[in-house]
Structure 1
Amino acid sequence: MRLTILILISILCFSCGKKQAEEVKPPRKAITSVTVNPIFDDSISIRAIAVTPNDDLIYGGNKTTIGHYDAKKNTHTALLKGKVPDSLNVSFRATAYVNGNTFGISIVNPALLYKISSKGNVLLVYKEAHEKVFYDAMAFWNTREGIAIGDSTDDCMSMIITRDGGNTWNKIACENLPKVNDGEAAFAASNTNIVTKGNETWVATGGKTSRILYSGDKGNTWTSYETPIVQGLETTGIYSLAFYDAKNGFAIGGDYTKAAVNEANKIRTSDGGKTWKLVAQNSGPGYRSCVQYVPNSDAKELIAIGFKGIDYSQDAGTTWTHLSDEGFYTIRFVNDSIAYAAGKNRIARLTFK
């Protein structure tokens, strides 16, 4: 009996010690360098990318480009080639990949939203004709429900929503959205001024007013929050928004016409976007078009990217290290050390070490 008790105590102690060892994670090693490996070189400007579950890449650009990169085969497929009129010449700055389907919505008039199935079937699922139409970004809450946002055509930001897997899209009435301020719009710079987490949604506006529009119920109701980021001109404000979880978020931007200026262009929240604080005032990167959290970094590590280079923070944006002068528009992580980046006439695979 005594032996049995001793064995049980030993097992319990071993299990407890093992659990404690598993819970104590060693600190992540700081990123000190990045290697850029080109995977696409063509005269196409690419501002929208999305990583698929098997680590392939979907991308959208000008010249009616929606493409698929097969990482294992190292090959590219033009998903719209031969399936839309050759005379069509539109630009896609918002893409998404959901449940085997690729989505892309074009900028300017008319807005065209295509759904491309895994078998390559192409459907035009939404069209909007208006002299002011300009869609900037797209995201999904789940496999059935998604949202695309754009500049105002009336007195609110344009928002369209699908509840049936992207087969039909309906525009939210302005009476159900915050009224847009004079000179307020959004930037189609990197398909990252909209973020969804669970049922929650954050949309970043920019220009003469730069705010966060928030919905906690998948786009049914909305409110707005002010931010301290630089604003007041058509070229100022938030260009990119990221959330690590429902509480911790980061936004970056500035003025792309004054790309070196790093005053009031980086902000952080720890309460789900209700309040924002300026960080790295007059230090770190100036204008950047995209910011993303490094996966598995406990909301501490960030990569900011733009046509002036790549920058890294390991303290939630308080201080920054410039990693490279290589210019890109947008970035998405595959894991905590590999990412895809796209920009003017190219896509690359980035390795962070």
Structure 2
Amino acid sequence: MRLLSVPLLVVALLAGSGFTPGHDPAWELQQSGSTARLRGLSVVSPHVAWASGSAGTVLRTVDSGRMWRSVGPAGAEALQFRDIEAFDARTAVVLSIGTGEDSRLYRTDDGGATWVEAFRNTDPTAFYDCVTFLDRRHGLALSDPVDGKFRVLSTSDGGRSWTVLPAAGMPAALAGEFAFAASGTCLVSAGRHAWFATGGGATARVFRTNDLGHTWSVVDTPIPSGPSAGVYSLAFRDPWHGVAVGGDYTTPAVAPDSAAVSRDSGRSWEKAKKTPGEYRSGVAWRGPNVIAVGPTGSDYSRDGGRTWMRFDTGSFDAVDCTASGVCWASGQAGRLAKLL
């Protein structure tokens, strides 16, 4: 889906593997050095993270965020880089969104000094939203429906080349259904499984594959859907435990059923007992805990996404964490924060 871009960046670092009992997290604001709106985010280690966004922007840090360097592809200023997936300090794949040739994938192997264009969409009806990697070789990228079905790209060489997968194994899309290019997390993976989330149609749904994107199943979620509403972000701690967040970005302060959880690999979803209550565009696991972010604030859950507590009212778009519990968040207008 085409979300309009407004300049801004937020980066947040969390230490440890979980929230201290009885201690609410808090953001420590920092300087970003960028005015781009960064909706793409990939955290590699406690020291290395990448972010991407408007005006062809790609940023990289290798010193825990003390300094971010602009390393985007030359001549890409007109592109919206809504998702980035990084493997280490030198290797990353970035996705630009849009209709027709605006949807592209680039790869770097030298920390952003040079980029190779690995895919450029030539179908005027396709619109790519997000990308995920199941391992260093196998990845998938998701387009909004083409001829009544979501379209999926596949790579088996780390993003150096991409192939459109056959549509035979994809369930039909609902009328008006699409994915949200809000935080690079409409398509995610864990182990050999991948999931993508939707909105726009009669129900907000989650699609699931366990064969590298060749066949998919789909289920409804309890998160309300509408022309600008649905599931905006997914996160899976492992192949079984998932969290979904969303709402309606046109009414960000009102989303009473904005979170759901799955304990069976996304085969079914249950509404959270206490949701954030407002639109959330990004979600990530931090050990057994979960963080959700959006334009009206940030929330955390200590019980796997079943109940949520607000801890900040600042604007964020995306959040990502390492396996060791170091997390960052990104968003608008140069905002940068560290979670204490």
Shorter-chain TM-score range: 0.7 to 0.9
- Alpha-carbon displacement from aligned partner over 1:6-27 (angstroms, at most 9, x marks no partner): xxxxxxxxxxxxxxxxxxxx99
SS in 1 for 2:168: helix
Does the alignment pair 1:216 with 2:210? yes
Count of aligned pairs:
318
CA–CA distance in structure 1, aligned partners of residues 217 and 155 of structure 2: 20
Q: Which residue of 2 aligns with 1:293?
A: 285
Does the alignment pair 1:276 with 2:259? no
* Structure exhibiting the larger radius of gyration computed from Cα positions: 1
Does the alignment pair 1:95 with 2:84? yes
The farther-off stretch of 337-346 and 206-215 is 337-346
* Structure 1 position 147, deviation (Å): 0.9
* Structure 1 position 199, deviation (Å): 0.9
Are the aligned partners of 1:338 and 1:350 in contact in 2 as well (CA < 8 Å)? Answer: no
Does the alignment pair 1:255 with 2:248? yes
Q: Which residue of 2 aligns with 1:60?
A: 52
Given residue 299 of structure 2, which amino acid in structure 1 is its aligned partner?
A: D
- Alpha-carbon displacement from aligned partner over 1:26-57 (angstroms, at most 9, x marks no partner): 99524413132324143211100101245311
Does the alignment pair 1:313 with 2:313? no
Q: Which residue of 2 aligns with 1:339?
A: 327
Q: Which residue of 1 aligns with 2:118?
A: 125
Matches within 5 A, 1:101-120: 101-108=91-98, 109-110=100-101, 111-118=103-110, 120=113
SS in 1 for 2:68: strand
Distance 1:220 1:347, change over 3 A: farther
SS in 2 for 1:221: coil
CA–CA distance in structure 1, aligned partners of residues 23 and 195 of structure 2: 28
- Alpha-carbon displacement from aligned partner over 1:305-345 (angstroms, at most 9, x marks no partner): 10101111212233222101111001112466642111112
Distance 1:36 1:305, change over 3 A: same
Q: Which residue of 2 aligns with 1:38?
A: 30
Does the alignment pair 1:29 with 2:21? yes
Are the aligned partners of 1:269 and 1:275 in contact in 2 as well (CA < 8 Å)? Answer: yes
Are the aligned partners of 2:42 and 2:49 in contact in 1 as well (CA < 8 Å)? Answer: yes
CA–CA distance in structure 1, aligned partners of residues 19 and 315 of structure 2: 30
Distance 1:98 1:284, change over 3 A: closer
Distance 1:130 1:72, change over 3 A: same
Are the aligned partners of 2:259 and 2:276 in contact in 1 as well (CA < 8 Å)? Answer: no
Distance 1:124 1:36, change over 3 A: same
CA–CA distance in structure 1, aligned partners of residues 319 and 174 of structure 2: 30
| Aligned equivalent of 1:327, options 306, 315, 319 | 315
CA–CA distance in structure 1, aligned partners of residues 45 and 324 of structure 2: 15
Percent identity between the two aligned chains: 27
Q: Which residue of 1 aligns with 2:5?
A: none
* Structure 1 position 204, deviation (Å): 0.9
CA–CA distance in structure 1, aligned partners of residues 266 and 325 of structure 2: 27
| Structure 2: gaps (5+ residues) | 1-17
CA RMSD of aligned residues (A): 2.2
CA–CA distance in structure 1, aligned partners of residues 219 and 324 of structure 2: 31
TM-score normalised by structure 2 residue count: 0.87
Given residue 97 of structure 2, which amino acid in structure 1 is its aligned partner?
A: I
Are the aligned partners of 2:248 and 2:255 in contact in 1 as well (CA < 8 Å)? Answer: no
Distance 1:41 1:328, change over 3 A: farther
| Structure 1: gaps (5+ residues) | 1-25
Are the aligned partners of 1:135 and 1:151 in contact in 2 as well (CA < 8 Å)? Answer: yes
* Structure 1 position 128, deviation (Å): 0.5
SS in 2 for 1:157: strand
The farther-off stretch of 29-38 and 160-169 is 29-38
CA–CA distance in structure 2, aligned partners of residues 151 and 166 of structure 1: 20
* Structure 1 position 143, deviation (Å): 1.0
